[in-house]
Structure formats: C-alpha cells, structure tokens
Amino acid sequence: MTYSAPIIEQRFALETAGRMSELAALPKFSSVDDDLLDAILTESGKFAAEVFAPLNRLGDQQGAVLENGAVTLPEGFRQAYQQYVDAGWGSLGADPEFGGQGLPFALATACQEQLTAANMAFSLCPMLTLGAIEALSAHASAELQQTYLTKLVSGEWTGTMNLTEPQAGSDVGALRTMATPADDGTWRIKGQKIYITWGEHDVADNIVHLVLARTPDAPAGTKGISLFLVPKFLPADDGAFTVRNDLRCVGLEEKLGIHASPTCTMSFGDNDECVGFLVGEEMAGMRAMFTMMNHARINVGLQGPAICERAYQAALSYAKERVQSARIGGTREAVAIIEHADVRRNLMVMKAVTEATRALVYANAAAVDLAHGATDEATRQNAQGRADLLTPITKAYATDMGVEIASIGVQIHGGMGFVEETGAAQHYRDARIAPIYEGTNGIQAMDLVGRKLHMRGGQYWRALVAEMRSDISALPATGDFAAMKAPLTEIANAVAAGANWLSEASRDPNDAAAGAQPFLRMFGIAIGGWLLASQAREAQSRLALMKGDAEFLRAKIATARFFAEQIVPPGAALLAPVMSGQETLYLIADDAM
C-alpha cells in the first residue's frame, strides 16, 4: 500500500529520453542544473509519498459526496491540497509572468508522475488545472490572463474542461450548449455537460470552467464551436470573487475506480444568468480546446507509467514476502514466489514496460519543451512535429499498458489481488479510465494514422524511424546488445512498412482505420524498445567510467534486453493485422454478431 518515488530511475530517464542537458543549454531553461533536478525530484517524491499516497486508499473507500449541489471530498483532501499549493508544486512549468517557475515540462511531468502514482484520483485535479493554464496562456485575452492565470498557476483556483454532453461524446460537433452575447461584452451560457472531472469540489476557493458552446447563427459541426471561461465565482464590487455564478453540479457518477475524483454533471444557466467570457475568437473554440487537450493527453499518457510503477512496487513487495511451493529443480523447501520463473517473468514484464512507457512520456514532454524553447525555427518546427507524432502514441500505448500491468499486478498477488485489502485491485480499477478519457485510444490510433503520419508528407515519422534505425545500428555487436539488435531492427522495419502501407494515397480509409490500433501499439513498442536500448548504451558508458550506481546501471541493460527479446518480437508480428484491412471485421452481419 506504500509508495516510494523511483527518483534514481526518473533522473536517469530525464537525462536520456528527457534530453535534460539539451534543454538546460537553452536560454529558456538556463536555471536547470544537477542540484536543482535532484532537489525537485527528491522533495516532490517526498511530498507524493507522505501527503498524497496516504489518502489513496481512504479516497477510494470514502469517495466524493454530492449533497445540495456541493461536492465534499474525503477527509484530509482539502488540507493535502493546501499543502500542494503552499509548496508551489503546480507552478513548476508555468510562465514566470504569472507566478510560475518556468521549468521544463519534462521535469514537471516527472513530478506529476509521482503525484499520479501516489494518488491517481487526486492528481486529476492539478492535471486539469495545468491544461487550463496552457489553453488560457495560448488563447485568452490579456485581461483574462491577468485575472485568472495567477490564481490557476498558484493552485489557489482549479480548472476544468467541459466538452462532453449526453448526445455529444466523442462527436464534439454535436454539442448543444449555447452562448448568447450580453450587453456588457460577456456571454450567457446555457446547457449541460457530463463527465466533468473535478467539476465541483471543496478543496479550492474557485473553479474555472472552460466550456465549449455554440453561439447564435453558428454553423453546425465543430466549426461553429467557441470556447468560454465560466468561473464558479464572479467578482463582487470589492473585487473579491464571492458572487456565485449560475452553474451547479446536478449529478455525480458512481464509477469503477478513481472514486475520490468527482465526475460531475454540470448545469449552466438554469436561471439564464450564467456569465461566461469568450476565450480567443468566436468559432475558434476547438483550436483553443485542443491546446488544452493535447497537454492533457500527454499527462493522461503519464498515468500509464505512474500506475505501472505503483502496481509494480506492490507486486514486487508481495512476491518477495509470499512464500509458496518449492522452486522447480530445487529442494522441497518452499520459497518466496519471486524465485518462480512464471512470477519472475511477470515481474520483468512489469518492470520493463514501466520503464519503456516512462521513457516514451518523457521523450514526448522534452519534444514539447524544444518546440517552445529552441532558439531556431527549424529546431522548433521539427520538435513540434515530433511532439505531435508522439502524443497519440503516448496517450494510447502508455495507458493501455497501465491497465495490462496493473492486471499483472493483481495476478502476482493471486487470490489476495482480487481482495481489496491489498490495494492491487484499486490500481487496476483506477487505471481502466485512462484509455477512455481525453479521446479514447481508438480515436488516438485514428489520429495517428489519419493525421499524424501524413504531416508534411510523412516527414516526422520518417525522421523518427531513421533515428531509431541509426541508433540500433550503432549498438555494439557483442553481449547483451547483440541480443537486442535483431528484434529492434525488425520492429523498426515493420513500423516503416506499416506506415508506408497505411499512408498510400489510394488506400481505402476504412482499411487504414482497421489497422490503426495494432499499428499504434507496434509503434509504441518499437519506440519503447529503442529508448530502453539507448538507456542501456548510456548505462554501459557509465559503467565503463565507474560512474553511478553499478547495480542500477546493470539492471538498465538487463531490462532493455528483456524488452527487446520478450516484448518486441510479438510487437513486430502486429504488422500482419496492420495490413490485413477491414474485410474480416465485417464478414459477420450485424444481426448475426
């Protein structure tokens, strides 16, 4: 049930996949050095373990409670959130102009991972606030930024994202919430939104809702959608935000997991007095909201390695303590189950996938940092292309793995894993939402195949595959690295073949759609194997220099080899379903299914 932040592993992943030295060389991040990295990761890890983690089980048992339109969080949550605000953890990557610390997104991502692993339900609150900050920073007027960003950056106020309606889930263009202009330059919002994460709560003094709505005479579909800032409290004559806006929570979902995260049905304008402020231009709402969603998709992808890490720590601890059966070929004396080959395989899968998905997320975050901080336009453009390409893979592959690794954690616990007492079941239940929200993983796969592969004529995926091939080719031809080269080369070639097949101009789009999910998984496995191999190469260099923890570095090499030998080959075999087309999906009539 306890959690300990994997600081050494996170630091190593930041230095390799997170390209921290490259980021620190940029003027934007010149304050970053080794001492700062160590201090932030250590203190953030301590906060996550000592403040957020102890509330994880309690939050799952008590859950959020709705009464008379107000949501109350479990005991201790408000106090813990105030500690989060007081320590400034939400301001790490924000603009210093609004009270942020201006640190790399990659570093802030590592800290967010710790909070998520410690308490996923609680971590959703600051995660959504970070997305609101990103959207307002990019699209809001200077007046709105001055009024709201400082409070959001400090964490004194929290943010939400309001897209989904009963008839408009993934089809956002079908939404019906209306925004009508008022005489004072504000708007009146009327409608209902569902599945609003942290839409109402009692841990902060104000909630800033970002709401998609349709203006009068706006065209149908996504082109007619605008984005509005709708605060829970409006300013009184004295400037204090004490006037309650015309919005309320009218329902709270009972969910499979993340019980302490209030998932709300929000009603706006029941009395026709809900005040909203236009963010950006009218009918440009989707562009503004996607700024928030793309940020959120990386942070949701982060929930994959975070849950993997938490589940792995619990399973490893149990496997070391649980004594059962003699080891095959040994004496008749019972041993700890970690000595059994099948359990050991499961643990190695958990460890390898956790480290691979962490590297993927950090690489994605570092690309975002380069896109914002590089000093030349070509580097910024290429970094943005890499970030855009990686985002659907990060979101989908990492969260799918979070569910699968949490399931393996239950399996290692055996019957006790199915019992809530151990906490293994909670990790599995909590993880299951991540492949669904912020765009289902099927949508992410369609985005990858339908949009991201085609960016600039395929320039970005080709550059990534070329880099992978170059690094794989440069691996030593001896020892552990020799065992990695062949499977990694095969899957890199499979990704290229699949991308070329899916990108053919004459390809039936439904054939491409049919292969989208297996292609995304194959791509995710390929990137994970490549990044782990790169980490192993760095580990070997440090071992040769007798620099760092030798046991940790040898484990990095072993983990990379395990991933390449055991996880990569089945991933390369996904090329066949990628290229099989739609035919077998529709051989059975709907009525016969």
Average pLDDT estimate for 494-509:
94
Residues identified as active-site? 438
Q: Is 280 helix (H, G, I), strand (E, B) or coil?
A: coil
Strand 206-214 and strand 157-162: the pairing is parallel
pLDDT at 61 over 80: yes
Q: What is the mean pLDDT of the chain?
A: 96
For residue 231, is it within any domain?
yes
For residue 484, is it within any domain?
yes
For residue 337, is it within any domain?
no
Confidence of residue 169 (pLDDT cuts 50, 70, 90): low
Burial of 250-272, coded b for 16+ CB within 10 Å and e otherwise, reads eebbebebbbbbbbbbbbbbeee
What range defines the domain where residue 82 resides?
54-87+119-283
DSSP 74: P
Quote the pLDDT of residue 1. Answer: 63
pLDDT at 87 over 70: yes
Token pair 């899968």 is found at 349
For residue 359, is it within any domain?
no
Measured over the CA atoms of residue 469, residue 475, residue 480 and residue 485, the dihedral's sign is positive
- Residue 109 CA to residue 134 CA, distance in Å, equals 14
For residue 593, is it within any domain?
yes
Range scoring the smallest mean pLDDT among 109-118, 212-221, 554-563: 212-221
Q: Whole-angstrom distance between the N-terminal and C-terminal Cα of the chain?
A: 43
- Residue 13 CA to residue 22 CA, distance in Å, equals 14
| Domain closes at, from 283, 300, 326 | 283
- Residue 412 CA to residue 392 CA, distance in Å, equals 30
pLDDT at 20 over 80: yes
Report the CATH number at residue 242.
Answer: 2.40.110.20
Q: Are 517 and 443 in contact (CB under 8 A)?
A: no
pLDDT at 553 over 80: yes
| Domain closes at, from 266, 283, 300 | 283
Average pLDDT estimate for 450-476:
97
**Which one-letter amino acid corresponds to residue 343?**
V
Q: What is the pLDDT of residues 512-547, one digit of tens each?
A: 999 999 999 999 999 999 999 999 999 999 999 999
What share of the chain in percent tops pLDDT 70? Answer: 99
Quote the pLDDT of residue 204. Answer: 97
Give the count of domains, the chain. Answer: 2
Q: Are 66 and 251 in contact (CB under 8 A)?
A: yes
Query: From residue 354, how far is each of 235, 302, 562 by CA, in Å?
Result: 46, 11, 13
Beta bridge partners of 227: 212, 279
Q: What is the pLDDT of residues 225-253, one digit of tens each?
A: 999 999 999 999 999 999 999 999 999 99
For residue 371, is it within any domain?
no
Q: Are 228 and 181 in contact (CB under 8 A)?
A: no
For residue 276, is it within any domain?
yes
Quote the pLDDT of residue 287. Answer: 84
| Domain closes at, from 260, 283, 306 | 283
- Residue 417 CA to residue 424 CA, distance in Å, equals 5
**Total residue length of the chain:** 593
Quote the pLDDT of residue 332. Answer: 83
Report helix, strand and coil shares of the chain as percent, to nearest 5.
60, 15, 25
Phi, psi of 204, deg, nearest 5: -135, 160
- Residue 101 CA to residue 8 CA, distance in Å, equals 23
**Long-range pairs, 571-575, Cβ under 8 A, ≥24:** 571/491, 571/494, 571/521, 571/522, 571/525, 571/526, 571/529, 572/487, 572/490, 572/491, 572/494, 572/522, 572/526, 574/494, 574/518, 574/519, 574/521, 574/522, 575/494, 575/497, 575/498, 575/522
Beta bridge partners of 188: 180, 275
Q: What is the pTM of this model?
A: 0.96
Q: DSSP letters of 282-301?
A: TT-HHHHHHHHHHHHHHHHH
Token pair 């339900």 is found at 121
For residue 373, is it within any domain?
no
The CA-based dihedral angle spanning residues 542, 539, 460, 127, taken in that order and rounded to the nearest 10 degrees: -100
pLDDT at 46 over 70: yes
Quote the pLDDT of residue 399. Answer: 98
Q: Are 520 and 393 in contact (CB under 8 A)?
A: yes
pLDDT at 172 over 80: no
pLDDT at 368 over 80: yes
